[in-house]
Amino acid sequence: MSHDGDWIAGQIDLAYIAALSAAPHPVLLEIESAATPAGVPIVDRESGRVLMALAAGRRRIVEVGTPYGYSTLWLALGQPPGGTIATIDPDARRTALARDWWRRAGIPDERIEVVNRPALEAFAAHEPALAGPFDLAFIDALKPEYQAYLEAIVPRLSPGALVVADNVLWSGRASGARPADPDDRSGEALRRFNATVLADPRFNATILPVGDGLLLAGWRG
Ligand SMILES: C[S@@+](CC[C@H](N)C(=O)[O-])C[C@H]1O[C@@H](n2cnc3c(N)ncnc32)[C@H](O)[C@@H]1O
């Protein structure tokens, strides 16, 4: 069933959803407060809520792009007890801070394994933590590498797994709603990534216009 005319969810709808939602865990609020002044990019809170909902029932998760462990914590809070996450980020100084926040949120160390290497190098080196199989993969690191992350992750997916990627609408510059900068390699790569994945017969894929755009791809393998 269609909705009225060209209605697009706006600020009032987001406030309505936030008012109905449980307050974020206090440690998530701490990470939000620390990330902004430090210039550390993290997913929007709305995207965090989607990640938490998608993590339900997903016992093994792989994440590309950790810094302060904000999205990692949303995922961990949504997983079943004992669920595990392998998260990749070359910045060990930031992921050490993330570990402290996860502990303060009551997540046992053994549930989250950090791989401090560039993701493509770590996958190619067959890091044991990345062996899989994974029930959910969350991609949120270098935009020109998204397609390569996906190809590295595919052989590690369990049947029915879900792949999620952030920033795919690139603040309106992927669709052309805002003018694209011809020198923006990330924007160009994201446009190619979106077109490729949404046409890929290995997945049932779509894009949620949440935050900066969350691509969801259900693995049909
Ligand atoms: C947008 S942030 C991730 C935010 C995180 N998902 C969150 O919401 O809390 C992107 C991260 O990718 C990391 N990164 C940069 N190059 C990388 C690489 N080659 N492999 C994996 N991560 C990388 C950066 O250190 C940065 O922390």
Domain boundaries, the chain: 27-219
Higher-scoring residue by pLDDT: 158, 4: 158
Q: Is 1's pLDDT higher than 70?
A: no
Centre of ligand 1 to C-alpha 163, Å, is: 16
Give yes or no for residue 65 CB within 6 A of ligand 1: yes
Give yes or no for residue 62 CB within 6 A of ligand 1: no
pLDDT band (50, 70, 90) for residue 84: very high
Average of pLDDT values for 57-69?
Answer: 98
Average of pLDDT values for 72-94?
Answer: 97
pLDDT, position 2: 59
Q: Is 8's pLDDT higher than 80?
A: no
Give yes or no for residue 91 CB within 6 A of ligand 1: yes
Q: Is 152's pLDDT higher than 80?
A: yes
Give yes or no for residue 44 CB within 6 A of ligand 1: no
Higher-scoring residue by pLDDT: 2, 143: 143
Centre of ligand 1 to C-alpha 1, Å, is: 38
pTM metric for this prediction: 0.96
pLDDT-above-70 percentage for the chain: 98
Rounded to an integer, what is the distance from CA 104 to the centroid of its chain?
Answer: 22
Average of pLDDT values for 95-106?
Answer: 98
Position 212, amino acid? D
Average of pLDDT values for 15-41?
Answer: 95
Q: What contacts 143, CB < 8 A, 6 or more positions away? A: 167, 170, 185, 186, 187, 189, 190, 193
Centre of ligand 1 to C-alpha 23, Å, is: 26
pLDDT band (50, 70, 90) for residue 9: confident
CATH of 27-219, picked from 3.30.56.10, 1.10.150.120, 3.40.50.20, 3.40.50.150, is 3.40.50.150
